[in-house]
Amino acid sequence: MLRTFGCARKVYDLALEVRTGAWFTEQRRVKHVETSKLLTAWKRSEGPAYPGEVSSVPLQQALPHLRMAFSNFFAQQARCPRFESRPSAEYTRSACAWRDGRLRLAKMPEPLHIVWSRPLPEGAEPSTVTVSRDAAGRWFVPVPVETSVDHHAPTDQAVGVDGGIESLATLSTGEKVTDPQHERRDRKKPAKAQRELPRGEEGSNDRAKARR
C-alpha cells in the first residue's frame, strides 16, 4: 500500500509541476487530457516495475483531484495547489470489490483487514474507496455507498427547535438532542478516572479528585 501511496503522490506532483510551470511562465492552463497523456509517458519512462506493481487507478485518480484544485485556484476560491504530502490512494468501483463483508483492492494480494465503525447497508456497493494514513500511522478507509432512502408519509405536525447550551437542541415536544462530541467526552471521563485512581496515593488530593 505504501508503494501505491508513493506512486500516486509522484503522479500528482509531476502533473502539478507541469500545470504550475505552464501557468506562471506562459499564463496557459493545462487541460486534463494533456496530463492524462503525460501519465502514460511517465509510466513508460519509469520502467516496467512502476505500472506493474501497483494499480493504475489511484494514479489516474490523482489527476482529477489536481484539476479540481486548479479550478478552485482559477476561480479565486483557494490558493495555488501545493505538492502532495498526505499519503492516500483512491480506488473507483472498477478497482475494488466488496464481497462477503471483505474489501479487495486491485493489485493487493489479500483483502484489507478493516475494523468497521459501522456495517455497510445490506446490498450496498462502494462507489469509491480512499485509503489514507495519518501522521500517527493510523489507517482510514472511508467508503461512500449508494443506498435507497426510505420515504416517509408527509405530516402536518410542526416541531420547534431551540438551540441550547447544555444540550445541542431542545424540541418543542420536550425532547433534548445531545451533542455527539459531548457524549463521547462524557463516556471517556469514567474510564479515565478509573485508570488514574490506582496511581494516586491513599488519602491524597489526586486520589480524591479521581474518585469524584
**Which residues neighbour 83 within 8 Å (Cβ) at sequence distance 6 or greater?**
12, 13, 16
Is residue 65 within 8 Å of residue 45, measured between CB atoms?
no
pLDDT at 124 over 60: yes
Most confident range (mean pLDDT) of 70-79, 92-101, 102-111, 163-172 is 70-79
DSSP-derived 3-state class of residue 1: coil
Count other C-beta atoms under 10 Å from residue 97's C-beta. Answer: 16
Global pTM? 0.64
Lowest-confidence region among 38-42, 97-101, 205-209: 205-209
Q: Specify the pLDDT at position 162.
A: 83
Mean residue pLDDT across the chain: 81
**Which residues neighbour 192 within 8 Å (Cβ) at sequence distance 6 or greater?**
none
What are the boundaries of each domain within the chain?
2-88, 93-146, 161-211
Rounded (5°) CA angle 199-204-207: 45
Average pLDDT over every residue of 47-61: 75
Q: Which run of H or E residues covers position 33?
A: helix 32-45
What's the pLDDT band for 79 if we cut at 50, 70, 90?
Answer: very high
pLDDT at 146 over 60: yes
